[in-house]
Copies of this chain bind each other. A is one copy, B any other.
Amino acid sequence: MSGFTQIIQKDLEKLESSIDELISTRVSYIKEIVTYIIKSGGKRVRPVLVMLCSKLCGYRGRKHIPYAAIIEFIHTATLLHDDVVDNAKTRRGLSTVNTVWGNEPSVLVGDFLYSRSFELMSRDGNNEILKTISKVTTALSEGEILEIVKTADVETTEKDYYEIIGNKTAVLFGAACEIGAILGQRPDSERRALRNFGYDLGIAFQLMDDVLDYTSYNDVLGKHVGTDLKEGKVTLPLIHVLGKVGGKNKAYIEKIFDKQKITQRDFDRVLDIIEENGGIAYTLQATERHLTQAKKYLDIFPSSRYKTALLELADYMLKREM
């Protein structure tokens, strides 16, 4: 990603071989699909968080690497299931697993990754981590389901939105950071601080994702811009605007969601309405606010190169273009 990963470069290399090792299965078909998706250029943000937070907490063992892999497995499982749910065609510029192999393996390989993660965790036997992660995976599914319930619902509130992204994205970021404190056997206050840091960082990450889905023109997301609108996902840029605009514009947006197929023209017009009404700026401000909050949670930790790296990672969120 950037400079802040340099101090864990060796661990990140070990992560890749750890991933290969931990997904070993006698079913070669699984291996093929997992390799395809997990090696397709994910940013490894969550593993980086596990590693930096473990180091921040003075952890000197080797377990942060398999745990970083496990967090990436869980994230990958959600991607596989999301793509079935959203009927997505591409991700990170590559065809999705459901497009290449069909829905079946996408569902089942996701299940495999979830199960393998719990298998590895229960083998290690750290019950605190197990409790943390299993609570998170429950929240992930709740968040995804809430998102479905709110599909194409122009009455979606900011509160609904934050509940959705909190569950579907931020809790996993929170857990990734919390693992560092658990491995480092730090007191509850630090554990909570890192969980909160990760949570707000995750909120900011998702807010930025939702901005980029509107503003990113040149496929840097590896998917066509405007995916959220096409999928009926009512995200903050739109929610803000829906609360402001009057009858005609609101009715137009409602009609958009009723359409079978949203054209480029529809998208451009919605984006115009959003920009005219400050939806993007509003969401960017919210992102900054959550990043500021996230960084504040690190105050209780003394200065270290790991803390600096985490602060840089937070700043990077707002700059990222993918």
Residues of A within 8 A of B (CB): 25-27, 29-30, 81, 84-85, 103-105, 107-112, 114-116, 118-119, 121-123, 125, 127, 130-131, 134-135, 137-138, 140-142, 144-146, 148-149
Contacts and interface: CB of A to CB of B under 8 A. Distances in A.
B146 A27 contact: yes
Given A84-B103, A85-B104, A131-B123, A145 B114 contact: no
Contacts of A142: 25-27, 30, 112
A134 B122 contact: yes
A119 B103 CA distance: 27
Given A103-B84, A107-B85, A27 B145 contact: yes
B116 A138 contact: yes
A49 to B, nearest CB: 21
Contacts of A29: 145-146, 148-149
A29 B84 CA distance: 19
Chain A's interface: helix, strand, loop or mixed, by majority? helix
Given A27-B142, A30-B141, 13 more contacts: A25-B142, A81-B111, A84-B103, A108-B148, A109-B141, A111-B114, A112-B138, A112-B141, A112-B142, A114-B114, A118-B118, A119-B134, A122-B131
B125 A137 contact: no
A140 B114 CA distance: 12
Contact of A107 (B81, B116, B131): B81
A127 to B, nearest CB: 5
B111 A137 contact: yes
A145 B111 CA distance: 10
Nearest to A128: B122
A107 B98 CA distance: 13
A149 B27 contact: yes
